[in-house]
Structure 1
Amino acid sequence: MSENAEQSIRVFGADWCRDCRRTKAQLDGLGVAYTYIDLEAEPEAADVARDISGRTNIPVVLYPDASHQVEPSNADVEAKLREISLL
């Protein structure tokens, strides 16, 4: 993880997850920096994602303001990025 991981967006996901790939592609397309936590490569991080969201669904997107979204739509992600002045 980068030095500023706590201040940046963190995306917990897996490559087999279509919603995870969509969210990553959206953030990449918008040029928004994030740290991707691959739950297949780091299975222990699944516990962190579950602790954040209270659910086992992915992706879990954790924002710098400590809020999170689970399986967000592109519109939800964009609205949140605007709310926290990242867009």
Structure 2
Amino acid sequence: MMRAWSLPIVFLAVGAVAGAGSIVRGSTRQGVVLLVAFALLAGLNSPLVFPRSVSAAEARRRGAADGRPVVFWRPGCTYCLRLRFRLRRHARRMHWVNIWRDPEAAAAVRAVNDGNETVPTVFVAGRPHTNPDPAWVREQLVP
């Protein structure tokens, strides 16, 4: 659990130190801008940006029942953020699995990506697609 929050915490800490340093040197505006910028980076890289994660087994079960894609992701992944934001509200219609929270999920991703934990890996009808185009993923969603 802590691993998912490590990067956002580092961003907040760096922003606080950089912002405080600027304020102490007399540049209040720059300090506030730095703090806000790093807080935004922390928010974008936090697990809160993504729909609630489920286990790999639960996602597979739900995906088989309703035909929705299963997305394996991890916090801090730029490509996962790209997919999430380009899907917009459609992202909630998929099953999201955080590979840092579920060892079975990480193993499933490694099995289809030559031993690498390459994310996002999207399973559509049981077939894996590594870092697919968000427009294509949106087309795969069941109406």
TM-score (norm 1): 0.69
After TM superposition, give the deviation of residue 21 of structure 1 in Å: 1.7
Give CA-to-partner distance per residue, 1:30-81, whole Å, 9 cap, x none. Answer: 52511111011113311112223445211101113x3332122xxx231354
Q: Give ranges in structure 2 of 5+ residues lacking alignment.
A: 1-57
Counterpart pick for 1:36 among 91, 96, 108: 96
Q: Give ranges in structure 1 of 5+ residues lacking alignment.
A: none
% identical aligned pairs: 19
RMSD after superposition = 2.5
Report if the CA contact (8 A) 1:53-1:68 is conserved: no
Flag the structure with higher helix content: 2
- Aligned counterpart, 1:58: 119
- Matched residue of 2:95: which SS? strand
TM-score (norm 2): 0.46
Cα distance in 1 for partners of 2:70, 2:109 equals: 10
Cα distance in 2 for partners of 1:26, 1:12 equals: 16
1:4 aligns with 2:62: yes
Give CA-to-partner distance per residue, 1:1-39, whole Å, 9 cap, x none. Answer: 365322211111101111112212223x15251111101
Structure exhibiting the larger radius of gyration computed from Cα positions: 2
Cα distance in 1 for partners of 2:99, 2:141 equals: 28
Q: RCO higher in 1 or 2 (8 Å CA, sep ≥ 6)? A: 1
Residues 11 and 49 (structure 1), Cα distance of their counterparts in 2 relative to 1, 3 Å cut: same
Flag the structure with higher strand content: 1
